[in-house]
């Protein structure tokens, strides 16, 4: 069963003070996310990521289209029990302690008192805050708040978790922790749909990603396939500056460090480059395929005119 299906789901806001003008935040979006997938929703500021999440959470009404979550109409209250949500800038009442906040959300999800106590302890440990249950949230750092926010999203053990920019504002250690947490949710078979600007996190975690720009889906695909599509360059390292002019003549970009030279070249130039190094009695040290990055794909999609979406 698909965890998320959207059918031409779209949103146009009426923006402006006196004279309201339509502002398209999300053009009709048709998308399927199977159960068990970690799905990265990428896009620059204002792309429509939060709007999509708000639509799916039933927090704003769509201007058109519909969606299904875990096989049910997305407005069906029964769906709520099985989904968790971390908003983009969660606001929690400062004077609550972490345990009180989690207890509040667990109550909303209908967990019994005895279950709640156990789950709160488990969740705080899971997000790396085992000692922080009795601390008021106003004393928390941004990273700690983000982790409490994630604990809130998973306290009721939902099947599907929506996270809006879960790594934003976190330092590298905090990001790593959130990444590990998302990975552990995946290992448990949960579906995670998260938006992000941080492409390396998407690359490390996601099965598939979608790129959204100006409210429009520009591309979607399996991360491994996207990366494979863009490779084709190799990095070659050798010892022996005598070969440098020959490699430069081939048009390779060369970076010498003393006698050791690193060059990046197209795969089809590799044979000619190796021959040139041998002729100059250079010593080949390594040949490594250059891995394409998700950033290449992302930037290409932002520059693209809208394309047929391959699924």
The residue ranges that bind Mg ion (CB under 5 A) are 49-50, 88
Tokens matching residue 215: 């409210």
Q: Which is nearer to Mg ion, 43 or 84 (CB)?
A: 43
Can residue 15 be called a binding residue for ligand ATP (CB under 6 A)?
yes
Measure the CA dihedral 68/69/72/77, to 10°.
Answer: -120
Can residue 213 be called a binding residue for ligand ATP (CB under 6 A)?
no
How far apart, in whole angstroms, are the C-alpha atoms of residue 196 and residue 167? 7
Can residue 13 be called a binding residue for ligand ATP (CB under 6 A)?
yes
Tokens matching residue 35: 């159960």
Q: Which is nearer to Mg ion, 85 or 238 (CB)?
A: 85
Q: Tell me the closest approach of the beta carbon of residue 205 to ligand ATP, in angstroms.
A: 18
Can residue 211 be called a binding residue for ligand ATP (CB under 6 A)?
no
User: Which residue stretch of 43-51, 148-156, 242-250, 278-286 sits at the interface with ligand ATP (rule: CB under 6 A)?
Assistant: 43-51
Q: CB of 238 within 8 A of CB of 282? A: yes
Q: Site mask, ligand ATP, residues 85-114, x = CB under 6 A? A: ---x--------------------------
User: Which residue stretch of 40-48, 152-160, 171-179, 279-287 sits at the interface with ligand ATP (rule: CB under 6 A)?
Assistant: 40-48
Closest residue by Cα to residue 84 from 161, 191, 156: 161
Q: Tell me the closest approach of the beta carbon of residue 153 to ligand ATP, in angstroms.
A: 17
User: Which residue stretch of 44-52, 129-137, 236-244, 284-292 sits at the interface with ligand ATP (rule: CB under 6 A)?
Assistant: 44-52
Q: CB of 88 within 8 A of CB of 30? A: no
Can residue 43 be called a binding residue for ligand ATP (CB under 6 A)?
yes
Q: Which of 3, 33, 38, 47 binds ligand ATP (CB under 6 A)?
A: 47
Q: Tell me the closest approach of the beta carbon of residue 25 to Mg ion, in angstroms.
A: 10
Q: Tell me the closest approach of the beta carbon of residue 14 to ligand ATP, in angstroms.
A: 7
Total of residues contacting ligand ATP (CB under 6 A): 13
How far apart, in whole angstroms, are the C-alpha atoms of residue 124 and residue 130? 5
Q: Tell me the closest approach of the beta carbon of residue 40 to ligand ATP, in angstroms.
A: 13
Q: Tell me the closest approach of the beta carbon of residue 275 to ligand ATP, in angstroms.
A: 49
Can residue 25 be called a binding residue for ligand ATP (CB under 6 A)?
yes
Residues near ligand ATP (CB under 6 A) are 13, 15, 23, 25, 43, 45-51, 88
């Amino acid at each position: 069963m698909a965890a998320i299906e959207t059918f031409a789901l779209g949103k146009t806001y009426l923006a402006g003070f006196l004279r309201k003008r339509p502002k398209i935040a999300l053009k009709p979006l048709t998308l399927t996310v199977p159960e068990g997938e970690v799905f990265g929703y990428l896009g620059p500021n204002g792309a429509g990521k939060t709007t999509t999440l708000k639509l799916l959470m039933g927090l704003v009404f769509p201007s058109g289209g519909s969606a299904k979550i875990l096989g049910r109409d997305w407005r069906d209250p029964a769906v709520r029990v099985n989904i968790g949500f971390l908003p983009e800038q969660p606001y929690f009442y400062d004077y609550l302690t972490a345990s009180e906040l989690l207890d509040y959300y667990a109550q909303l999800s209908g967990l019994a008192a005895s279950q709640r106590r156990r789950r709160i302890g488990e969740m705080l440990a899971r997000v790396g805050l085992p000692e922080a249950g009795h601390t008021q949230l106003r004393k928390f750092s941004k990273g700690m708040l983000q982790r409490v926010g994630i604990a809130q999203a998973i306290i009721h053990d939902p099947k599907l978790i929506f996270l809006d920019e879960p790594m934003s504002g976190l330092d590298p250690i905090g990001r790593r922790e959130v990444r590990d947490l998302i990975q552990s949710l995946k290992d448990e078979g949960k579906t995670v749909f998260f938006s992000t600007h941080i492409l390396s996190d998407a690359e490390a975690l996601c099965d598939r990603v979608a790129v959204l720009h100006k409210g429009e889906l520009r591309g979607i695909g399996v991360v491994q396939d996207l990366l494979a599509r863009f490779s084709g360059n190799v990095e070659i390292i050798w010892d022996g500056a005598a070969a440098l002019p020959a490699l430069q003549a081939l048009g390779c970009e060369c970076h010498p460090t003393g006698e050791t030279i690193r060059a990046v070249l197209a795969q089809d130039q590799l044979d000619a480059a190796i021959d040139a190094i041998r002729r100059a009695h250079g010593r080949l040290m390594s040949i490594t395929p250059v891995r394409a990055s998700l950033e290449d794909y992302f930037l290409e999609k932002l520059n693209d005119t809208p394309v047929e979406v391959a699924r």
